[in-house]
Amino acid sequence: MTASSRLTWIGRAFRSVIVFGYLVWVAIGFCMFRGAHMEPSTLRYRATKGLPAGYRLDPDDFTFNPLIPPGERNRLPTEADPTGKYLLKAKEKEVLFGPADLTSAPLIEVGAGKVRHLFSLKNQPELPNLVNTNSHVSVCSGDCPIDDARVLAILCSATRPSDCYAALELTKEDEAKLKDKSEYLVIPRNKSER
Amino acid sequence: MFGTLLDKLTSLFSKNFAVASIPLFAFLLLNGLMAFRVSYRFQQWTQNNYLSQDPARQALLSFGFLLLIVTVSYVLSTLSVFMREVLEGKHFLGDFLSTALSQRFRNRLIKVEKEMGNVRDKLRDLRKKQQTWMSELSDAYQQGRAIDDCHYARHPTLTALVDLGNSNQEITLQQLDTEVTNMKQDLQQNDPELVASPGATPQAIAAAVASQKLDDDNGELLRLIRYAVDKAQAQYVHYLTEFQFDYAGEEIAPTKMGNISRVAPHYAATRYSMNFDIFWTRLQKVVETDATFYSVLQDAKMQVDFLVQLVWYTICFTIIWAIALPCLREAEGWFLIIAIVGPVLAYIWYRIALQNYRAFSDLLRASVDLYRLELLKVLRIPLPANAEQERLVWEMLERRLVYGEHSNIALQNT
């Protein structure tokens, strides 16, 4: 083999290695995707914080186990995505739970002597992200006739996610105060205020 | 809309800078969109810090982002030469690999030189023969006119040659030579200008038809001769253009862009003994006085830099997402699109960049041709009397400016 043939061969080999290496990586990447497909029925969820019973799950409240990339969450069947569903039992941080621990209907347990009052959040569309089951709120309109009320549940329409209500635990007297006016707002209370 | 934006930007920055920022802007934007597509955290962050903000705050953030891009673009613009030099094969390859990669272009150069020599010989022979053939056919034509009869029938080889010409194939000198010999004999033995008079016999009419056919075929053969010469000429120009525009003599670089980049310095060195790298900055000062030419030169440079940036940003984008997407197990469809389209697009940008680099290199050569004497005037060097004296002047100037030799150079006082 002459020197020029040898150099030609080496140059060609170098270029081929780059192209071939890239193609191999693309094939590996493709296989990684194939291997990553999972069976939704085997999915479990891990609580990222302590969650009370009746809690309405937001995307930040859990991680998938095994982990699912955010982009693929959109492709999960509706029943495999727990966002917007309610916990049947309280869960400690890091505890795993599954579809059997969830319900589509809110779990509302009203304390003795109290009543459930549905408060429309149509004027406060950001509130469902701020309050949840067992949050404490004030109800105000200038003054605050109700200073501290427990949130029993957040209820949102399945078809219109912006159409939400807060189920508040009130005494009958407090509920009577809300009949005076219709322009009340729900104000979340800091933990330190409670 | 885009034109207005460009005008606004060019009032703040130079046109080159504004245009050079476009690939970076597109690169950042596409990366941002990809990150938004695959990262829930990035989506949340964007939602919280940008999309949910009021318009005034969004405008402020947008302006800050634009300022950041401009700053990054300015910093990266200092790397544009390096980016181009990497594509030219000047970095990272090492001597051995550089030589090995150059071999492909060395082989091509050898082939081009060989083909160019063959075509040149062929063209020379064809031109020489063209005169002889025309003259021989003309003599035979005159001889035939005295015959007053015609029994011509076309040779199948002429039909084959016509077909070759019509299908844009090559016709060899031997094929034409054989056909000219045949035609010569036919012309000598048949009258090519026979016309049937009214009331002529069927034999006379048949002879007139054959005569017309002979005349037509003679014209066809002359056209085929011109076709062969033109085709050889076109082939020669093709190889000569490749030799002139793609190779700097025998100095071979490891990439095609590297070879094109060496053409202008090689041209200046071989034609005028001028060291292009040394004198380009000074020559640029002279070229600037011709605003039209300088603008064309600047635009050509800008196009090359723009495309080089596109090549690099496309490669970076492809590598980033071809690795990140499988690792994140995200967006399989996008992975396939990027993995396939990315390299193809980078190659297309590279090929377009080569084309623009050829044009830019040609402009550099034109700059040397047109403005080198102006540079001598600016340097107050007396104009040389002839081409060889000019070579000595440039060599002497190089020795003095680069090596600091104390060679005495006469200066013009007025």
SS3 A122: coil
Please compute, for residue B129, the number of CA atoms within 13 A of its CA located in the half-sphere on the CB side. 21
The model's pLDDT over B317-349, given as tens digits with 9 standing for 90+, comes to 999 999 999 988 778 889 999 999 999 999 999
ipTM: 0.81
Which pLDDT tens digit goes with each residue over B109-153?
Answer: 999 999 999 999 999 999 999 999 999 999 999 999 988 888 999
Distance from CA of A36 to the nearest CA of B (A): 7
What is the nearest CA distance from A60 to chain B, expressed in angstroms?
10
Number of Cβ pairs < 8 A linking chain A and chain B: 64
Are B382 and B282 spatial neighbours (Cβ–Cβ below 8 Å)?
no
Residue B392 lies in a domain: no
Across the interface, do A29 and B38 touch by the CB < 8 Å criterion?
A: no
pLDDT score of B235: 96
Q: Which residues from B are below 8 Å from A when comparing CB atoms?
A: 37-41, 43, 97, 99-104, 106-107, 322-323, 325-332, 335-336, 339, 343
Q: In this complex, is the C-beta atom of A40 within 8 Å of any C-beta atom belonging to chain B?
A: no
Q: What is the pLDDT of residue B397?
A: 92
* pLDDT higher than 60, residue B1: no
Asked whether residue B308 is assigned to any structural domain, the reply reads no
State the total domains in chain B.
Answer: 1
> Which residue in chain B has the smallest CA separation from A37?
B329
Two structure tokens written together for A91: 């869960």
Question: pLDDT tens digits, residue range B45-76?
Answer: 888 888 888 899 999 999 998 888 888 888 88
pLDDT tens digits, residue range A85-122? 899 888 999 999 988 888 888 878 888 888 998 888 88
pLDDT tens-digit readout, B247-303:
998 889 999 999 999 999 999 999 999 999 999 999 999 999 999 999 999 999 999
- Residue B194's domain comprises 96-246
Residue range B361-388, pLDDT digits in tens: 999 999 999 999 999 999 999 999 999 9
Residue at token pair 């016999």: B201
Q: In what order do the strands lie in the sheet with A115-120?
A: A115-120, A164-170, A143-156, A136-141, A185-188
pLDDT in the model for residue B359? 96
For residue A30, pLDDT beyond 60: yes
pLDDT at A83 over 90: no
pLDDT digits (tens, 9 = 90+) for B385-401: 999 999 999 999 999 88
CATH of domain A40-103: 3.90.1210
Searching chain A, which residue's CA lies closest to the CA of residue B337? Answer: A26
User: Average pLDDT of A162-190?
Assistant: 83
- Report domain extents, chain A: 1-37, 40-103, 114-188
- Residue B212 banded pLDDT, cuts 50, 70, 90: very high
The verdict on residue B305 lying in a domain is no
Report residue B304 as tokens. Answer: 């090359």
Of B100, B326, B329, Cβ closest to residue A7: B100
- On average, the pLDDT of chain A sits at 84
Q: Number of C-alpha atoms within 13 angstroms, CB side, residue B127?
A: 9
Put simply, the chain A residues between 42 and 71 with a CB less than 8 A from any chain B CB are: 59, 69-71
B255 to chain A: which residues are within 8 Å by CB? none
Count of positions (residues) in chain A: 194
CB contact under 8 A, B322 and A29: yes
pLDDT for the residue numbered B273: 96
Contacts of A22 in chain B (CB under 8 A): 343
